[in-house]
Structure 1
């Protein structure tokens, strides 16, 4: 049921009426206006309107039609508006819910990759700490090699003070030279390994710093997305940002974002593997170098032991020989004394025989003949002279033998002193100095 439409009487203008009036009605209006002029003059003071009833109905009908049209249009607009805001509300709530859902999923992704970054950061930190421990062991092992090097070079320097026939390049010297060369090569290897460890520590820290930067960005992004996820239509800290949608045109996509983190994680895993392999190499190098040094030290000490045994045995033999030579010298000196006494003892018989011959040479004339006493005396003088000559020859030979024995005594005493000096160097200086040789644990860097 349509409500009543109350239309007040309009203050109509003649011009508007004329505009609404059809063209064929102008003549009739004019005719009505001018018909009965005389009557109109009489009733001129009583006319209250300028329009006819037909005009009034026409105008009223037009107003009603216009109002009904406007009302229908308003109802249509209201229905469309209601449908539109219902649709937009649903769409807005749906898109907002999807956005919140996507933010939640994004938070889960960020949390997952952030956790992965944290795990790899902790592993890199632990690996770097282990490498630092290996670095300290390498430095200690490198410092520990200075003691064996000083001991070996001191042994070589001390053994250069040997003299005489003992200044020989024996097995001890060869082993000492091998030990010096081995220590130099081990020092070079430890320095090279130490440089590799320092470089790997730098790479680990760079990879850790890269992961920390990525983790920091993801932590900040997580907090921002978490804050965005907590925004609602009732939040009071939201406001309009008209240009916020225009700053996201040059951003990377999700695959590039994941690929960036995966690349960083792959780099960290590669450095972790390299660090682990380097730690194993360091452990093997430290163990093998320590064992090689101790093995060479044992060989040197064994060579020293054999050499000291040889020197001691040689000195004992020389001392025994010197004792025998001294005994022979005493015997030869007694022999020389006996020979000298024997030569002296032949002087009286020789004087007697020569005196007899001299006296008998004084015989006169025919008495000076070669008789049997003369022949006997001549044989006696010749025999005694031969004996003296033989004794003097033997005395000269004995004296020569005594001189040789004295030379042998001096040589033996000198050689015994040389052997004693060599034993003092090898046993008292070198071998006692080698008691300060570091053990395997010290050479391993502990």
Structure 2
């Protein structure tokens, strides 16, 4: 510029990055940045008058410079404030206490979830243990009832074997024998039902124990997880045992997510509930089978006893009739023996009249000549002898018939006595051997008549 002192202006350093035509100060230019200050020469305090005639800036430049300074100050102050606020916010967001508090809250929520499901598992485990105990008790009752049915079976079979010792006509296929055969068949069917129930019980107990094992394993895992999470929740900056574990956040050993974790425990509980329901149904089936078997055996037992009682009554009637007939036969034998003696005496009594008549006739046969007349006396003697012979012949026939009748009476007496012995033997077998051992039902109160009461008690449990 003409008229300017070259010495003053040459001492300044020109920034090539700033355009020469710029008259206002740009806060973004290199020269406005407070990284370094260019060296310049201070003009002397007493300038010459000539220098005063030539000003360096205009009023606009002065105003623009002031405004630029204001703007730069505002800009830098705003930037510093934003940086300060961002730093404070970052410090607050990354505050260890706040982070630990949030993590502790999450851990507490997780511990509450674990405690909830662990309590559910423990409750279900207690229910399963109670169900297993009830099922074992039911199985014990069935296993106790099964060998006791052998006593009933042995009695029925022994009755059949004893009744094979009947004799003669009494060895018949009567009502008691049919009832005993039906009783044996019924008992064997009941034994088969009880064995099937025991087999089902064994299988169900295995399933219940498997479900119990899963519940206990799951609850044990949750107990360990609860202790670990509670330990992690209680850690603070002043806790002992703190250490760096570099890279631990990059290790992922998880095997489930909250949804699958809940589903796993829920499935274990549902499985246990299903097995408990099946177990309760099986115990109800126990009661039904035990009641049916007991009622069936008891009813058949009573039917057999009734058949034996009826048969004993018929045998008693037959024996009493035989005794009556035997008494009559014995009386008839006694009377017939007297009658035979009477006939024999009558025959003996006819000997003397026959001898007299024959002697008379023999004497009269000695009459001489014409005196040997066939007179009425002669005819009467002949008739008398004929009458005596006829009487003797009749008496002899009567004696033979009486003796034959006596033999028949002795035969019927022997037959009646044999039948009486047979009936007594039958009565002894049916009444003393069979019915005597069947007076009491050879089973414990859990079966038989009082089985329903015990089954109801078991069902209430």
Fold match (TM-score > 0.5): yes
1:232 deviates by 2.7
Deviations 1:178-231 (A, max 9, x none): 222221111111111111112111111110001111111111111111122222
Q: How big is the alpha-carbon RMSD for the aligned residues of Structure 1 and Structure 2?
A: 3.0
Between structures 1 and 2, the one with greater helix share: 1
**Partner residue in 1 for 2:93:** 90
What's 1:123 paired with? Answer: 127
Per-residue deviation, 1:154:
1.6
State the partner residue of 2:262.
Answer: 258
CA drift at 1:293 = 2.2
**Is 2:336 the partner of 1:332?**
yes
The separation in 2 between residues aligned to 1:327 and 1:249, in whole angstroms, is: 113
Q: Does 1:143 align with 2:142?
A: no
Q: Look up the match of 2:442.
A: 438
Preserved CA contact (<8 Å) 2:152 2:443: no
Alignment of 1:126-205 (within 5 A): 126-205=130-209
For the residues of structure 2 that align with 1:437 and 1:345, how far apart are their CA atoms? 73
Query: In structure 2, what is the Cα distance between the partners aligned to 1:375 and 1:350?
Result: 15
SS at match of 1:435: coil
Q: How does 1:275-424 map to 2 (within 5 A)?
A: 275-361=279-365, 370-424=374-428
Hey, what's the Cα distance between the residues in 1 that align with 2:416 and 2:116?
90
Partner Cα separation in structure 2 for residue 424 and residue 442 of structure 1: 32
CA distance change for structure 1 residues 348 and 220 in 2, over 3 Å: closer, same or farther? same
**Count of paired positions:** 381
Aligned partners of 2:151 and 2:443 also within 8 Å: no
Distance 1:123 1:268 in 2: 9
Shift of the 356–86 alpha-carbon distance from structure 1 to 2, 3 Å rule, reads same
State the 1:79 CA deviation: 8.4
For the residues of structure 2 that align with 1:243 and 1:383, how far apart are their CA atoms? Answer: 155
Question: Superposed, which structure 2 residues align to 1:38-57 within 5 Å?
Answer: none
Structure of greater relative contact order (alpha carbons < 8 Å, 6+ residues apart): 1
Which whole-Å CA distance do the structure 2 matches of 1:405 and 1:442 have between them? 59
Moved more, 343-352 or 325-334: 343-352
CA–CA distance in structure 2, aligned partners of residues 144 and 234 of structure 1? 72
Q: Alpha-carbon deviation of 1:378?
A: 2.9
State the distance in 2 between where 1:209 and 1:95 align: 39
Counterparts of 1:285 and 1:199, CA distance in 2: 17
CA distance in 2, matches of 1:366, 1:246: 178
User: What is the Cα deviation at residue 365 of structure 1?
Assistant: 5.8
Task: State the partner residue of 1:31.
Answer: none
Aligned to 2:239: 235
**Offset of 1:92 from its aligned partner?**
5.3
Contact kept in structure 2, 1:144 and 1:442, CA below 8 Å: no
Q: State the secondary structure of the residue aligned to 1:248.
A: coil
CA distance in 2, matches of 1:191, 1:339: 79
Aligned match of 1:270 in 244, 261, 274?
Answer: 274
Q: Secondary structure at the match of 1:333?
A: helix
Q: 5+ unaligned residues in a row in structure 1: which ranges?
A: 1-20, 23-59, 65-72
Q: Aligned partners of 1:79 and 1:233: how far apart in 2?
A: 31
Aligned to 1:145, the other structure's residue is in SS state: helix
Q: List gaps (5 residues or longer) in structure 2.
A: 1-12, 15-35, 41-75, 455-461
Asked if the contact 2:149/2:443 (under 8 Å) is kept, the reply is no
After superposition, what is the alpha-carbon deviation per residue over 1:78-107, rounded to whole angstroms, capped at 9, x for unaligned? 985984475155145555444332222211
Question: TM-score normalized by structure 1?
Answer: 0.77
Verify the 8 A CA contact 1:179 1:293 in the aligned structure 2.
yes
